[in-house]
Amino acid sequence: MNLKKKVMAGAGMALAAGSLIASAAVPASAAPAANSVKACQNYNLGGACTYLYYPEPDMGSTLDGNFQDSISSISNYTGNTWCFWTDNNYQGIEGVFQNNYTWNTLSYPYNDSISSGKSC
């Protein structure tokens, strides 16, 4: 019986188990829904909503329809701060909406006034 050989085999197994744990610690990919800004016509993310993935110079013609001057709540769970403006083409009053946050009740001057927005 060779005791030295057995100890070395055991050490090799421990090393393999260690590297397995390290790779399992890599986080899973983010949920697909987390990469858009949700902007809705009513308070508390209610009513019709549009999902913004790219700069939107005209809220009157989003992928989800006409949201010109009608947004009342916003949820930003992208990786970036977004800015919204009260006029088209990033003009007018600018509001900064940090990521990982929800605004359930927009107030003046943004409520029912947002006309464009993009990551900023």
Cα–chain-centroid distance for residue 17? 35
> What's the min distance (Å) between Cβ of 63 and Ca ion?
19
Both structure tokens of 95? 């509001």
Determine, following the binding rule CB under 5 A, whether residue 86 of this chain makes contact with Ca ion: yes
Q: Does 73 bind Ca ion (CB under 5 A)?
A: no
Does 70 engage in binding with Ca ion (CB under 5 A)?
no
CB 99 within 8 A of CB 68: no
Minimum CB distance to Ca ion, residue 26 (Å)? 44
Number of residues that bind Ca ion (CB under 5 A): 4
How many Cβ atoms sit within 10 Å of the Cβ of residue 40? 21
Q: Does residue 100 sit in helix, strand or coil?
A: coil
**Is residue 72 close enough to count as binding Ca ion by CB under 5 A?**
no
Q: Which parts of this chain interact with Ca ion (CB under 5 A)?
A: 69, 86, 113, 115
